[in-house]
Chain A
Amino acid sequence: MIKKEGRITLNIKLKTLKRGARSAFIHLALMMFMIYLVFPLLWMVSLSLKPTPEIYSADPSLMPRTVSGEHYRSVLHEERVVRSILNSLYVGITSAALVVLVALPGAYALVRYKSYANNVVLGWILTSQIFPVILLMVPLYMILRSLSLTNSLLGLILVYVVWSMPFVLWMLHGYIKTIPIELEEAATIDGATRIQIVYRILVPVLLPAIGASMLFAFISAWNEFFLALVLLKSPDLLTIPVELAKFTGMEGQARTGPLAAASFIATIPSIVLFAAIQKWFSSGLVAGAVKN
């Protein structure tokens, strides 16, 4: 009897130990992953604070030996970084909002209205991702020029909306498919119209998906370089990736300090935005909505 109790205690201890080891391993792996993700950002901040000769040191260190604000002063004084961040914010937020606004009813229709055209549309969405941007650039430019939308942020927003649309549509299509039809049926019984169902029932349930889609569209627009480079001419309209590219030179050279400072400044809005909408990503909103 005592032996059996001892064995049980040992088993419990072993299980606790195993659980502890597993938990420690997971935490260690997560920590390593975090370091992997955060290190480039830390390195960028470090570079932005080092005086130029220290950047060229053959014995680099993460902590600057001398902290200097010269690169930030240079960037804010000489370059149009702040202006370009505002342009990028405007383009990014507007295109993200527009793309979700247009894609949401589209994705809903694709899921709920069964038609032979659905597969064709979904196939087209995938096919549209194949074409490289350089291939589309000239015809796209000509279309925008005929609409007087070159060298205009509005033109760029429209291009980004179209550019992100297939993927966002695909993402939302996947999310909507997971929502039980019973939710809508219940709303229909209560007398809700189709539009009410979409905006009153589905949208709250789809908030994580909308957040993810908006973030995808925003980041696509925020990072996009080539379309902005070609479509925008006026220096006052340039977006942040185009502005940052000006710190690089020929043969792999770059003004490393100012580039790091400008990149860090440019990172702040996207981090703030991400922090603001990260709650949308909390999953499980649908869980328990329907009793099986």
Chain B
Amino acid sequence: MNKKIIWILLAIASLIGLWNLIHDQSPNSDTDQDKLRYLSLAWQEQSIAANKAIVAEWNSQHPDMEVEYIQGTWNSIHDYLITTFETKETPDIFHYESAIIVDFAIRGFLADMRPYIGQEMYSDILDIAWESVTRSNGEICGIPFLMESFIVLYNREIFEKNGIEAPSFESPWTWDEMRQAALALTQDTDGDGSVDQWGVAMGLRSAANIIMNHSISFGGSFFTKENDLYTVRVGSAERPLLNLIMDMLYVERSMAPSSIGKTGAAMLPEFFSGKYAMMVGIGSWARQQIVENAPTGFRWGVIPPLKAQSQDIGINTQTLSIPSTSKRKEHAMAFISYMLNQENMALLAASDWMIPTRTSCLAMDEFRTVDDGWNIVNASVKFLQSGSWLGVPGYVEWKTRVANPIFQELFADRFTVDEAAERLETESNMVLSRYQRGGARW
């Protein structure tokens, strides 16, 4: 009996092995080696389909310069790229985000794309998007094609029931006005003594990103640069947002404590059920999830960026870059130019529900519709600003190993804002000084 099982297992392995050998389409073969390799991070069905369609169209038009589509994943891309940079077996084109590729550029892993960028593309893409990928010496390390901004979503029905009118783009809410509305909307609807409807939810599981990007409207920057060295300071401009969140959580109790350990996507079921009246600091992509997955008849809207000193909010762009090891940079750029022409960029942005970086795309009707909030998301582009952290060496490590854990502990009420500020300054500067010993700068 046991011998039989061994033989069966070996037979299965042999058959599968044979099948694999027959169908082996590894790029070691001559034809595949000629192909440009494009690593995409598209993950939603429509977005993958859009990417594949563009690649197929390119391949049919350029049989001598074919592109192989490779599917990457957001969770593993960083380790994957670092390994390929070190082993010099990089894809010719890869998709990632500006906040992280700046670090790759500093370390010399990326090609300067400036000589290859056509005038039409350069002038059509927003300056603020270029700023997110341009080094102080003028080198451009990626083509920004999608922009992400944080938005505020609200439940129309709850607003109407409570007589609260959502602010218009012309007359936006301040953070304090949002706070008052949240207090009014926090209710024990069934009278059992516990809150069933929270005014606000904020997905603060990866809090650093949200805090940094929103602090800009308070004039906060966290990073200061002196003598070419970055340090972290949590001063009077950085504290108001932290104080506001803590007050809403533990003094006024108008922010759902259940939301602070969640990511943006994980808050959606409660938003659909009416448990959260507003979601602050969620990506504009969330609108797609609402359109596709909300219960029939669910009515929602987008609130313009909240105002403190300004309505400014941090920008993060998704980019296409060429590694410095690529031997076919011109071909790779030719493909990128095609991939990101006006028509294709619009297709990619619409399929991912993110903001296109081309002004000509932003002028298209499909990015100005009212029902799904494109009108407000599009108009808010003027508030996008580059964060002071752009180009900080070691920013990724700082965010994941220092800022996120400290913010998580702060919002769990383990310590005060003052203590959090002190820890942030001490621990951050330990990490930053390690990176800044290197020498290369953004």
Chains A and B are bound partners: yes
Q: Which residues of A contact B (CB under 8 A)?
A: 52-53, 55-60, 74, 78, 86-87, 89-90, 93-94, 97, 134, 137-138, 141-142, 145, 148, 150-153, 207, 225-226, 229-230, 233-237, 242, 245-255, 273, 276-277, 279-280
Query: What are the 9 A-B residue pairs with the smallest beta carbon separation, nearest first?
Result: A58-B273, A252-B263, A90-B16, A249-B43, A93-B13, A253-B265, A245-B73, A58-B269, A250-B74
- With a cutoff of 8 Å between Cβ atoms, the chain A residues found around residue B87 in the complex are 138, 141-142, 145
Minimal Cβ-Cβ distance residue in B for A258: B45
Counting CB contacts under 8 A, is B270 at the interface?
yes
Tell me which of A56, A94, A150, A225 contacts B268 (CB under 8 A).
A56
Inter-chain CA distance A134–B27, complex, in Å, is: 24
Question: Contact at A53–B43, with CB atoms within 8 Å?
Answer: no
Minimal Cβ-Cβ distance residue in B for A256: B265
- With a cutoff of 8 Å between Cβ atoms, the chain A residues found around residue B26 in the complex are 151-152, 233-234, 236-237
The interface centre, meaning the residue of A60, A145, A153 with most chain B CB atoms within 10 A of its CB, is A153
Q: Which of B416-432 contact A (CB under 8 A)?
A: none
Q: Which residues of B contact A (CB under 8 A)?
A: 1-2, 5, 8-10, 12-13, 16-17, 19-20, 23-28, 32, 37, 41, 43-45, 70-71, 73-76, 79-80, 83-84, 86-87, 89, 205-206, 263-266, 268-270, 272-273, 275, 283, 285, 289, 292-295
Minimal Cβ-Cβ distance residue in B for A83: B23
Inter-chain CA distance A277–B8, complex, in Å, is: 11
Question: Contact at A58–B89, with CB atoms within 8 Å?
Answer: no
Inter-chain CA distance A198–B295, complex, in Å, is: 65
The interface centre, meaning the residue of A90, A235, A255, A277 with most chain B CB atoms within 10 A of its CB, is A90
Question: Contact at B293–A52, with CB atoms within 8 Å?
Answer: yes
Inter-chain CA distance A138–B5, complex, in Å, is: 38
- With a cutoff of 8 Å between Cβ atoms, the chain B residues found around residue A55 in the complex are 293
Given contacts A53-B293, A248-B43, whether A138 and B266 have CB atoms under 8 Å apart is no
Inter-chain CA distance A105–B246, complex, in Å, is: 63
Question: Contact at B73–A279, with CB atoms within 8 Å?
Answer: no
Tell me which of A78, A148, A151, A255 contacts B43 (CB under 8 A).
A255
Inter-chain CA distance A152–B26, complex, in Å, is: 7
**Contact sample, A vs B, 17 pairs, CB 8 Å cutoff:** A52-B292, A53-B295, A55-B293, A89-B16, A93-B12, A93-B16, A150-B89, A226-B76, A234-B24, A236-B23, A236-B24, A242-B73, A248-B74, A251-B283, A252-B205, A253-B263, A276-B5
Inter-chain CA distance A93–B79, complex, in Å, is: 27
- With a cutoff of 8 Å between Cβ atoms, the chain B residues found around residue A137 in the complex are 83
- With a cutoff of 8 Å between Cβ atoms, the chain B residues found around residue A253 in the complex are 43, 263-265, 285, 289
Tell me which of B13, B28, B205, B293 contacts A151 (CB under 8 A).
B28
Given contacts A251-B265, A255-B43, whether A245 and B76 have CB atoms under 8 Å apart is yes
- With a cutoff of 8 Å between Cβ atoms, the chain B residues found around residue A229 in the complex are 76, 80
- With a cutoff of 8 Å between Cβ atoms, the chain A residues found around residue B265 in the complex are 251-254
Tell me which of B24, B45, B80, B272 contacts A58 (CB under 8 A).
B272
Q: How far is the CB of B8 from chain A (nearest CB, A)?
A: 8
- With a cutoff of 8 Å between Cβ atoms, the chain A residues found around residue B79 in the complex are 134, 226, 230
Minimal Cβ-Cβ distance residue in B for A60: B269
- With a cutoff of 8 Å between Cβ atoms, the chain B residues found around residue A226 in the complex are 76, 79
Q: How far is the CB of A165 from chain B (nearest CB, A)?
A: 18
Inter-chain CA distance A248–B37, complex, in Å, is: 22
Give 20 new A-B contacts, CB below 8 A, not counting A56-B294, A236-B24, A248-B75: A53-B295, A55-B293, A56-B293, A58-B269, A58-B273, A86-B19, A93-B10, A94-B13, A138-B87, A142-B87, A225-B76, A233-B27, A234-B27, A234-B32, A237-B24, A246-B71, A252-B264, A253-B263, A253-B265, A277-B5
Given contacts A145-B87, A229-B76, whether A53 and B294 have CB atoms under 8 Å apart is yes
Given contacts A78-B45, A134-B79, whether A86 and B89 have CB atoms under 8 Å apart is no
Inter-chain CA distance A52–B89, complex, in Å, is: 39
Minimal Cβ-Cβ distance residue in A for B41: A250
Question: Contact at A248–B12, with CB atoms within 8 Å?
Answer: no
- With a cutoff of 8 Å between Cβ atoms, the chain A residues found around residue B27 in the complex are 151, 233-234
Inter-chain CA distance A245–B84, complex, in Å, is: 19
Chain A binding surface SS class: helix
Inter-chain CA distance A119–B5, complex, in Å, is: 35
Minimal Cβ-Cβ distance residue in B for A59: B273
Tell me which of B2, B5, B20, B83 contacts A153 (CB under 8 A).
B20
- With a cutoff of 8 Å between Cβ atoms, the chain B residues found around residue A230 in the complex are 79-80, 83-84
Inter-chain CA distance A279–B4, complex, in Å, is: 13
Inter-chain CA distance A276–B79, complex, in Å, is: 37
Inter-chain CA distance A52–B296, complex, in Å, is: 13
Inter-chain CA distance A69–B344, complex, in Å, is: 32
Q: How far is the CB of A203 from chain B (nearest CB, A)?
A: 10
Inter-chain CA distance A226–B80, complex, in Å, is: 8
- With a cutoff of 8 Å between Cβ atoms, the chain A residues found around residue B12 in the complex are 89, 93
Question: Contact at A255–B44, with CB atoms within 8 Å?
Answer: yes
Inter-chain CA distance A230–B80, complex, in Å, is: 6
Inter-chain CA distance A141–B289, complex, in Å, is: 39
- With a cutoff of 8 Å between Cβ atoms, the chain B residues found around residue A86 in the complex are 16, 19-20
Given contacts A58-B272, A141-B83, whether A233 and B70 have CB atoms under 8 Å apart is yes
Tell me which of B9, B266, B294 contacts A252 (CB under 8 A).
B266
Tell me which of A89, A150, A237 contacts B13 (CB under 8 A).
A89
- With a cutoff of 8 Å between Cβ atoms, the chain B residues found around residue A246 in the complex are 43, 71, 73
Minimal Cβ-Cβ distance residue in A for B15: A90
- With a cutoff of 8 Å between Cβ atoms, the chain A residues found around residue B269 in the complex are 56-58, 60
Q: How far is the CB of A152 from chain B (nearest CB, A)?
A: 6
Question: Contact at A245–B45, with CB atoms within 8 Å?
Answer: no
Q: How far is the CB of A183 from chain B (nearest CB, A)?
A: 18
Inter-chain CA distance A134–B76, complex, in Å, is: 12
Inter-chain CA distance A117–B273, complex, in Å, is: 66
Inter-chain CA distance A233–B72, complex, in Å, is: 10
Q: How far is the CB of B264 from chain A (nearest CB, A)?
A: 6
Minimal Cβ-Cβ distance residue in B for A269: B12
Minimal Cβ-Cβ distance residue in B for A137: B83
Question: Contact at A94–B17, with CB atoms within 8 Å?
Answer: yes
- With a cutoff of 8 Å between Cβ atoms, the chain A residues found around residue B24 in the complex are 234, 236-237
Question: Contact at B2–A93, with CB atoms within 8 Å?
Answer: no
Given contacts A56-B269, A56-B272, whether A235 and B43 have CB atoms under 8 Å apart is no
Question: Contact at A235–B293, with CB atoms within 8 Å?
Answer: no
- With a cutoff of 8 Å between Cβ atoms, the chain A residues found around residue B13 in the complex are 89-90, 93-94, 97
- With a cutoff of 8 Å between Cβ atoms, the chain B residues found around residue A150 in the complex are 89
Q: How far is the CB of B238 from chain A (nearest CB, A)?
A: 23
